[in-house]
Amino acid sequence: MKSRNKELDMTIVFIVIYVVGMSLGDNISRTIGVEKLMTAIVSLIITVSLFLYIKRKDLMEKYGLKRVEGKSKDYFYYIPLILLSSVNLWFGVKMNMPLISSMLYALTMILAGIIEEILFRGMLYKEMAESNEKSAMIVSSLLFGVGHIVNLFNGSGAELVSNMCQVVYAVSVGFMFVILFKRCKSIIPCIITHSLLNALSTFSNEEMANKFIIPVSLFMVVVSVMYSIYLSKNKTEV
């Protein structure tokens, strides 16, 4: 019991460090004049720290940092994940920032996908699930989604409607990731999908994407819900 509580405490500490660190990184980067420079450094430090902590505690397998169990056909060949990860390119490709800033932004987004999946799916869900699995699924998904509200206050320029849409689809995608993790015993597919979705936003046509934010968000919610149902009803043992 003490060991589990300590690991849950460390999860919360890492989440706080991540949220505060990313916000500070963004503010410092803007002050320096190079978008995402400090944020990328903070993200890299947190990512390395997480892996070192998990490795030292021998928790790699528990937190899903392992190969997927089963075959791709058991997961509908990951087609829903491919659809979700590609939404930022639906309205064309555009360079929204200078090359260096774009590279730093993409790197930060990839690392954010890794960090968030480890924190919310790997650590928070697994530690809470030892006491109550249903509560763990709900809480980890809600916190993941609601956590995106921080984008309204960190100077990222997110508008209220687009941010609220992001919160809604993040909750549904987060829940889908939990179901997927339960089925395949790995968070690797979640990390790849999340990181791709994040990174490709670097090159999205934001003006067009914002015009269709509501239908696109609805699409993401529907795909997430349908895939969650499919995974839950697929009784193939893996």
Assess contact for 204 and 88: CB atoms under 8 A: yes
Contact 159, 175 (CB under 8 A): no
CB atoms within 10 A of CB 235: 5
Band of residue 110 on the pLDDT scale cut at 50, 70, 90? very high
| pTM, entire model | 0.92
Structure tokens at 141: 């998904």
Residue 236 has pLDDT above 60, yes or no: no
Alpha helices, H only, 33-159: 37-56, 79-85, 99-116, 126-129, 133-146
* Average of per-residue pLDDT values in the chain: 91
For tokens 């994407």, the residue is 209
Q: Band of the pLDDT at 1, cuts 50, 70, 90?
A: very low
| Residue 168 pLDDT | 93
User: What does the alpha-carbon distance between residue 156 and residue 163 come to, in Å, rounded to a whole number?
Assistant: 11
| Separation between Cα atoms, residue 108 and residue 106, nearest integer Å | 5
**Residue 14: left (phi > 0), alpha (psi -120 to 50), or beta?**
alpha
The reported pLDDT for the residue numbered 237 is 41
Q: What is the pLDDT of residues 168-210, one digit of tens each?
A: 999 999 999 999 999 999 999 999 999 999 999 999 998 888 8
Each domain of the chain, given as residue ranges in start order, spans 2-233
What are the residue ranges of helices labelled H in 57-122?
79-85, 99-116
Alpha carbons within 13 A on the beta-carbon side of 145: 23
147, pLDDT greater than 90: no
Cα–Cα nearest to 118, from 52, 165, 164, 172: 52
- For residue 49, the tally of other CB atoms under 10 A from its CB is 13
The confidence score (pLDDT) of residue 152 equals 62
Task: Report which of 152, 81, 157 is spatially closest to residue 113, judged by C-alpha positions.
Answer: 81
Question: Does residue 155 or residue 178 have the better pLDDT?
Answer: 178
pLDDT > 90: percent of the chain = 80
d(CA 11, CA 17): 10
pLDDT at position 20 is 94
Share of the chain above pLDDT 70, in %: 93
